[in-house]
Structure 1
Amino acid sequence: MTGETEAVYVLDRIGILCTVIVGFWILKFFIRVIYNNFLSVALRINAVNLKETGKWAVVTGATDGIGKAYAEALAKKKFNVVLISRTQARLDDVAGGISEKYKVETKTIAADFTNRTDIYYNIDKQLNGLDIGVLVNNVGMSYPFPEYFLDLKNKDETYENIIRVNIFSVTNMCKIVLPGMTERKRGVIINISSSAAQIPSPLLTVYAATKSYVEKFTEDLSTEYSRLGITIQCLLPGYVATNMSKIKKSTWMAPSPAKYVDEAIATIGVRGHTNGYFPHTLLVGVVHFLDSISPRLSRWLIVRTMTNIRGRAIRKQIH
């Protein structure tokens, strides 16, 4: 074998080895995606038996969207439900519908989470003595529409309210409910973050930052209390057809709240950190892929999308 032939032989073997390695990583990636998003849920690996967690479920932001869908899904599983939201009339309407349809007890607590701390004393008092198995920290607040940090109308009040609703509520509700769960050594807490915490979110800067807090808080709280039999999950939805997102008609990428919760609730105990809905996982994955190729390109596309949404909202206000 000549020196040139030997070099070609070695290069061929290196090429084959590189192909095998790349193929292995691609195969591993697809296996992980299929397992995390389909097999583990279908096989209910480490799934929590919700019926054994307690008699009551507590849901914040319970009169609309994802919160209402969770309240109904848990009532369907025969949980009595405590609904917490701002407007008593809407609470009474939702509670009445749930009681009639699912034949469970309901309790309502009117609370404006933009208040500082005085609401939590009342919530704590009204939840005292209940066997709470599930807490869904759903209440949240975002911008009226995407906007630059300095240009948001009433930005001082809006940013303060977003921080109170998105950060204080999750922290304080866990402080109220978690002691009973640790005493009973059972329970589930679902903290709803957002896929905005996972991807670049210009023009939603403060909202996305507060949702990043929820993600980190949940991750570390779960590590602290999982040893006591308590499941603490971080849910990071993308767009869902709700009043908050201003999407009126559901699509494959923006499902109805009921569709979203139907899939997300099956991940409790299976996935501690999840988008809860495969198309949302796919979207985050695509953004991460583009970001790995060209961060400038991915951020340009997101800014362009956000400014288009902003422009439509401003034109609607004008007309």
Structure 2
Amino acid sequence: MGTYSNAAVWVDGLVVIGGFTVLFYFLKFSWKCWWGLRVYVLSEYWKTDLRTYGQWAVVTGATSGIGKAYANELAKRGLDIVLVSRSEEKLKATALDIVNNVGMTYSPGLAYYMDIPNPGMRITEIINCNILSVAQMTRLILPRMVERSKGLIINISSEAGSEPQPMLTLYSATKIFVTYFSRGLNAEYSPKGVTVQCVAPFLVSTNMTNNRAINAFVKSAQDFAYEALNTVGHSTFTSGCLSHALQHIALCIFFPGWLRLSSSCVRKTEKFARRAQQKIERTGKKEN
């Protein structure tokens, strides 16, 4: 009888533990669903007034792509814009048309580290553009924000920085710097009134991505900037839009980090890169 009682106690205990475990994961899943709904859907209707962070916005990489789209969208929302770019002619054109966004990757695209075109110069350029400029621009503007006890810094990272990415090794490494730098900075300065948001998008149709065709997975720069700015005030780390958030979830489930680092995956990526390069070359010949 005693043995039966002990077994019953163990069974009851395991049932309780199992019940709490199911409840925990149910609540966790429900919270993530609510968080995603609030950040990527309801934010369309609960837009944060960006002017509460200040009247002026400094946008780097402002002459094209995501940077230009951010500048245009910020201007539409009533902010005065300071444009920063390496190209004076493009800068003037952008200013007439009318975020810490600077980014540089390999050209034409995926490549082994030692096969980066013009590596002596290109490696330094990528590090300076993706890391040094972010840190130095932050150093310049952050003190004034702290003095006023308000401000917003938006750093553009990349989904490529979520895990090590073979064939994009250097670019991926520089983007995880942006992510960690932003998250650490937000922890340091959010109590002082300064919000630091990190945006980690998938593909956006820009010059850097060879102006990919826009579809359900690839956003135009304008649409992406609009949706990403809606997430300000709702999340300090975001994929920028619902489409990219869903892609991130799918990638984590079906293409985890260990699989991306496997030798078979690297070989397949190499073959894909070779076919993509051949397609680009054929397209170039037809245009000529």
Q: TM-score normalised by the shorter chain: which range applies?
A: 0.7 to 0.9
Counterpart pick for 1:153 among 103, 108, 117: 117
**Greater share of helix:** 2
* Counterparts in 2 of 1:10 and 1:214: CA distance versus 1, 3 Å: same
Aligned to 2:266: 303
What is the Cα deviation at residue 49 of structure 1? 3.1
- Root-mean-square deviation (CA, aligned residues, Å) is 2.9
Q: 1:71 and 2:71 equivalent?
A: yes
Paired residues of 1:147 and 1:310 also in contact (CA < 8 A): yes
Contact 2:151 2:193 in 1 (8 A): yes
What does 1:166-315 correspond to in 2, within 5 Å? Answer: 166-290=130-254, 295-296=258-259, 299=262, 303=266, 306-315=269-278
Q: Does 1:137 align with 2:80?
A: no
Structure 2 residue aligned with 1:118: none
Counterparts in 2 of 1:299 and 1:236: CA distance versus 1, 3 Å: farther
Looking at structure 2, the residues matched to 221 and 53 of structure 1 have their Cα atoms a distance apart, in angstroms, of 16
Q: Which moved more, 1:34-43 or 1:266-275?
A: 34-43
Counterpart secondary structure, 1:137: coil
Instruction: Give secondary structure in 1 for the equivalent of 2:154.
Output: strand
Number of the residue aligned with 2:33: 34
TM-score by length of 1: 0.77
Q: Aligned-pair distance for 1:277?
A: 1.6
Identity over the aligned pairs, expressed in percent?
Answer: 35
**Contact preservation (8 Å) 2:166, 2:261:** no
Offset at residue 289 of structure 1 (A): 2.6
Shift of residue 13 of structure 1? Answer: 5.9
1:300–1:11 distance in 2 versus 1, CA, 3 Å: farther
TM-score by length of 2: 0.84
Find the residue that maps to 1:244 and give its secondary structure.
helix
Q: Which amino acid aligns with 1:32?
A: W
Q: Distance in 2 between matches of 1:170 and 1:159?
A: 16
Letter in 2 for 1:80: D
How has the CA–CA distance of structure 1 residues 297 and 81 changed in structure 2, closer, same or farther, with 3 Å as cutoff? closer
Show CA shifts across 1:282-313 (max 9, x none).
Answer: 22223333466x82477467535632441134
Kept in 1, the 8 Å contact 2:161–2:173? The answer is: yes
1:148 to partner: Cα distance: 0.8
Q: Residues 26-68 of structure 1, C-alpha deviation per residue, up to 9 Å, x if partnerless?
A: 4234313322221256269x97531122222111111111111
Unaligned stretches of 5+ residues in structure 2: 283-288
Q: Distance in 2 between matches of 1:25 and 1:203?
A: 39
Partners of 2:111 and 2:273 within 8 A in 1: yes
CA contact (8 A) 2:154 2:199 kept: yes
User: Aligned pairs, how many?
Assistant: 279
Residues 48-89 of structure 1: CA deviation (Å, up to 9, x unaligned): 531122222111111111111110110001111111112222
Match of 2:166, SS state, is coil
**Partner Cα distance (2:253, 2:141) in 1:** 39
Distance 1:310-1:273 versus aligned 2 partners, 3 A rule: same
